[in-house]
Amino acid sequence: MKVAIIGCTHAGISAMNECLKYNPDAEITVYERHADISYLSCATYLHIGGDVKDLGDVFYANPEEFIKKGVHMRMQHDVIKIDAQAHTILAQNLKTRELLHDKYDKLILATGSRTSIPVIAGIENPKILLCKTCNQAHQLSEASKNNHKIAVLGGGYAGVELTEGFVKSGHEIVLFQRNDQLLDEYVDTTISERVKKLLEDNHVTVLTGTNVSRFSDTKDGHLKISTEDDNEYIVDMVAICPGVLPQSDLLKGQVNIAKNGAIITNAYMQTSDPDIFAAGDVTEIQYNPTLTSKYIPLASHAVRQGTLDGMNLFKRRRKSMGSQATSGMLLFGQTIACTGLTLNAAKDANYDAHHVYFESNYRPDFMPTNTKINIELVYDRKSRRVLGAQFMSSHEVAQSANTVSVIIQNNNTIDDLAYVDMLFSPNFDEPFNYLNLVAQKAIDKELDYWGMD
Ligand SMILES: Cc1cc2nc3c(=O)[nH]c(=O)nc-3n(C[C@H](O)[C@H](O)[C@H](O)COP(=O)(O)OP(=O)(O)OC[C@H]3O[C@@H](n4cnc5c(N)ncnc54)[C@H](O)[C@@H]3O)c2cc1C
């Protein structure tokens, strides 16, 4: 059986690993545009900030290890056409320009995403750079060596992390965010405002609710950024982090595709063509808090979905569990982590949503050091189900977001979270862990609520 995998970053690599394990007799051919595999985009800001000295260190896989396992690794090959009915592929060798025809029995599409370039006059200016691929990371890092004042466009997690990287490398930063809130898809106002203050305390100019309308060169070699509210900012270069779009063109008109361009699969990651599977940024994922299919491009999704592709290719072995879109970042020593719905998103999804905000030291005050943790817990009043949580602290709270992810996955209520067994040691927490305590606060709030009714 011939298996073709198109795209070899996180989704493609996971699919290949699992395919080798579960289908040892299959003949696997991988097509990848780039010369290397497995670049982690989050390394870009870590490199700029100096935590990762060499970008070459962040690759966790290389083509040679798969060649040794018998995989045909067609590196620097661009697939330009798939004929799903005929089960054929047309690819081009990017080094020789040669065209190559191939056949497959099963195909895995792991072509990921590309940056969604905003339509702004002057966006093609060479002083405006991207931050997704390894090449782009090199370009950004090189360009920043000769430029001091940098604008970052986009206040999602990629833009916020990149801002920190540039601050650490001694640059002056202006962060532009169209929405009124930073990280608006991940956290509610209270934590978002804390993030903004954290950036401002680190000398970042944060412009929320600001729409960039034009980029233009100045006579003295700088870049002018004009905004819709008639302000102008002069910088030396711009990094844009505006989000991504699924790269599904190869299967357009051949399998079911959502309006946003993401490929629709069933729980086994199979597309509407039973011989074609998909994974990663090119697909949607079942979003458990709303039980809807959603486009949530994350490496954590790509590796899970790719794994399922490889497992399920010839035999249905395991269904996707969906996702709570759990994510986290470390920003100037503060962990910011979240899972599930924000309050705004929960209301938009027509939940009778409420929230509690919990701020407290994480462990007893008799311990030599202590620090505050901030938790926002979102829940549904009717069912009392936990819908989401957000955390911010200089204490490590990322794993608490993972715990709440499981709580949401299992449809647990605030009552479950309030009293579920959690360890106690003065080193780590109070006799009731802070997750128990925030849920108890929600229960107390609901007592008031029902009392008032
Ligand atoms: C700045 C930044 C920071 C991020 N940080 C995080 C993080 O901290 N945590 C997290 O979970 N996620 C993070 N992400 C998201 C994460 O990078 C993506 O979700 C992940 O890369 C998706 O993996 P993928 O394999 O599906 O797709 P991609 O990484 O997009 O890879 C697709 C591959 O397919 C190849 N390809 C595409 N078309 C063709 C073709 N026609 N022929 C041959 N090859 C082709 C491409 O060359 C590429 O190698 C970040 C993203 C960015 C941009």
Cα 281 to averaged position of ligand 1 atoms, centre (Å)? 6
Segment 354-380 mean pLDDT: 98
In this predicted structure, the answer to whether residue 198 has a pLDDT above a threshold of 60 is yes
Which stretches of 49-133 are DSSP H helices?
63-68
Cα 153 to averaged position of ligand 1 atoms, centre (Å)? 19
Q: What are residue 397's phi and psi, to 5 degrees?
A: -115, 5
Cα 246 to averaged position of ligand 1 atoms, centre (Å)? 10
33: Cβ below 6 Å to ligand 1? Answer: yes
Cα 8 to averaged position of ligand 1 atoms, centre (Å)? 9
pLDDT tens digits for 145-155?
A: 999 999 999 99
Residue-level pLDDT at 242: 85
Segment 119-126 mean pLDDT: 96
Options 10, 47, 77, 171, the catalytic residue = 10
For the entire predicted model, the pTM comes to 0.95
Residue nearest to atom 4 of ligand 1 (CA): 42
7: Cβ below 6 Å to ligand 1? Answer: yes
355 tagged catalytic: no
In this predicted structure, the answer to whether residue 452 has a pLDDT above a threshold of 90 is no
Options 34, 42, 72, 222, the catalytic residue = 42
36: Cβ below 6 Å to ligand 1? Answer: no
Show the 3-state SS of the chain: CEEEEECCCHHHHHHHHHHHHHCCCCEEEEEECCCCCCCCCCHHHHHHCCCCCCHHHHCCCCHHHHHHCCCEEEECEEEEEEECCCCEEEEEECCCCCEEEEECCEEEECCCEEECCCCCECCCCCCEECCCCHHHHHHHHHHHHCCCEEEEECCCHHHHHHHHHHHHCCCEEEEECCCCCCCCCCCCHHHHHHHHHHHHHCCCEEECCCCEEEEEECCCCCEEEEECCCCEEEECEEEECCCEEECCHHHCCCCCECCCCCECCCCCCECCCCCEEECHHHECEEECCCCEEECCCCHHHHHHHHHHHHHHCCCCCCCCCCECCCEEEEECCEEEEEEECCHHHHHHCCCCEEEEEEEEECCCCCCCCCCEEEEEEEEECCCCEEEEEEEEECCCCHHHHHHHHHHHHCCCEHHHHHHCCCCCCCCCCCCCCHHHHHHHHHHHHHHHHHHHC
> Taking all residues of the chain, what is their mean pLDDT, rounded to a whole number?
96
Q: Which atom of ligand 1 is nearest to the CA of 34?
A: 47
pLDDT tens digits for 156-179?
A: 999 999 999 999 999 999 999 999
Query: What is the CATH architecture assignment of 327-448?
Result: 2-Layer Sandwich (3.30)
CATH class of the 2-34+76-114+244-312 domain in this structure = alpha beta
pLDDT tens digits for 220-273?
A: 999 999 999 999 999 999 999 989 999 999 999 999 999 999 999 999 999 999
374: Cβ below 6 Å to ligand 1? Answer: no
Q: How far is CA 449 from the centre of its chain?
A: 36
At which residue do the structure tokens 């990921």 appear? 112
Whole-number percent of the chain with pLDDT over 90: 98
Distance CA 214, CA 177 (A): 15
Q: Which atom of ligand 1 is nearest to the CA of 9?
A: 25
Q: How far is CA 253 from the centre of its chain?
A: 27
Q: What CATH number was assigned to the domain covering residues 128-240?
A: 3.50.50.60
Segment 312-330 mean pLDDT: 97
330: Cβ below 6 Å to ligand 1? Answer: no
Residue nearest to atom 37 of ligand 1 (CA): 111
Residue nearest to atom 26 of ligand 1 (CA): 280
Please report, for the chain, the start and end positions of each structural domain, with discontinuous segments joined by +: 2-34+76-114+244-312, 128-240, 327-448
Residue-level pLDDT at 448: 75
The model's confidence at residue 451, banded by pLDDT at 50, 70 and 90, is low
Cα 112 to averaged position of ligand 1 atoms, centre (Å)? 5
φ/ψ bin of 367: left (φ > 0), alpha (ψ from -120 to 50), beta (otherwise): beta
Cα 344 to averaged position of ligand 1 atoms, centre (Å)? 28
Beginning with the edge strand found earlier in the chain, give each strand of the sheet holding 237-240 in spatial order. 128-129, 237-240, 149-153, 172-176, 205-207
Residue-level pLDDT at 453: 44
Segment holding 29, helix H or strand E: strand 27-32
From 76, 281, 284, 324, give the residue whose CB has the most ligand 1 atoms within 8 Å, as the site to mutate: 281
Domains 2-34+76-114+244-312 and 327-448 fall in the same CATH topology: no
Q: Which atom of ligand 1 is nearest to the CA of 279?
A: 26
Cα 9 to averaged position of ligand 1 atoms, centre (Å)? 6
323: Cβ below 6 Å to ligand 1? Answer: no
Distance CA 144, CA 140 (A): 6
pLDDT tens digits for 53-73?
A: 999 999 999 999 999 999 999
pLDDT tens digits for 94-114?
A: 999 999 999 999 999 999 999
42 tagged catalytic: yes
Q: What angle do CA 243, 154, 376 make, to 5 degrees?
A: 90
Q: What are residue 110's phi and psi, to 5 degrees?
A: -130, 45
